[in-house]
Amino acid sequence: MVNNFVRVQLKPGREKPVVHGHPWIFAGAVSRVEGQTEPGTVVDVMSASGEWLARGLIHPAAALLVRIYTRNRKEQLDESFFEARIDAAVSLRERLFKGLSETTNAYRLVYSEADGLSGLIVDRYADVLSVQVGSAALVSRLDGMVRKLKSRTGVERVWVRAEADAVAREGLVLPEPDGAIPEVVRIREQGMLFDVDVGSGQKTGYFLDQRDNRRRVAAYAAGRRVLSAYCYTGSFEVHAAAAGATEIIGVDRSEPAIQRARLHHEINKTGISVDYRQGDVAATLRRFRDEGRNFDLIILDPPRFVASRVQMEKGLRGYKDVNLLAMKLLSPGGVLATFSCSGLVSMDHFKRMVGWSSVDAGRTVRIIEQLGQPPDHPVLSTFPESEYLKGLICIVE
On whether the CB atoms of residues 48 and 9 are closer than 8 A, the answer is yes
Please name the helix (run of DSSP H) or strand (run of DSSP E) that holds residue 390, with its range, or none.
strand 390-396
Query: In the beta sheet, which residues pair with residue 144?
Result: none
Residue 345 has pLDDT above 50, yes or no: yes
The percentage of residues in the chain with a pLDDT greater than 90, rounded to a whole number, is 82
Which residues are catalytically annotated? 341
Task: Label residue 396 by pLDDT band (50, 70, 90).
Answer: very high
The total number of residues shown for the chain amounts to 397
Domains of the chain: 7-70 (2.30.130.10), 79-183 (3.30.750.80), 207-396 (3.40.50.150)
AA identity, residue 326 = A
Query: In the beta sheet, which residues pair with residue 185?
Result: 196
The predicted model gives 17-23 an average pLDDT of 96
Task: State the helix-helix crossing angle for 211-218 and 235-242, rounded to 10 degrees.
Answer: 40
- pLDDT at residue 178 in the model: 65
Question: Between the CA of residue 336 and those of 229, 236, 343, 372, 390, what are the distances in Å?
Answer: 11, 13, 21, 16, 14
Residue 57 has pLDDT above 70, yes or no: yes
Residue 180 has pLDDT above 80, yes or no: no
Task: Label residue 1 by pLDDT band (50, 70, 90).
Answer: very low
- pLDDT at residue 312 in the model: 85
CA distance linking residue 161 with residue 192, whole number of Å = 26
The percentage of residues in the chain with a pLDDT greater than 70, rounded to a whole number, is 97
Question: Between the CA of residue 184 and those of 175, 260, 264, 299, what are the distances in Å?
Answer: 22, 11, 13, 26
3-state secondary structure at position 261:
helix
User: What's the pLDDT tens digit per position in 58-85?
Assistant: 999 899 999 999 999 999 999 999 999 9
Residue 226 has pLDDT above 60, yes or no: yes
**Helix spans in 330-382 (H):** 347-361
- pLDDT at residue 4 in the model: 54
- pLDDT at residue 269 in the model: 96
Residue 238 has pLDDT above 80, yes or no: yes
pTM attached to this predicted model: 0.92
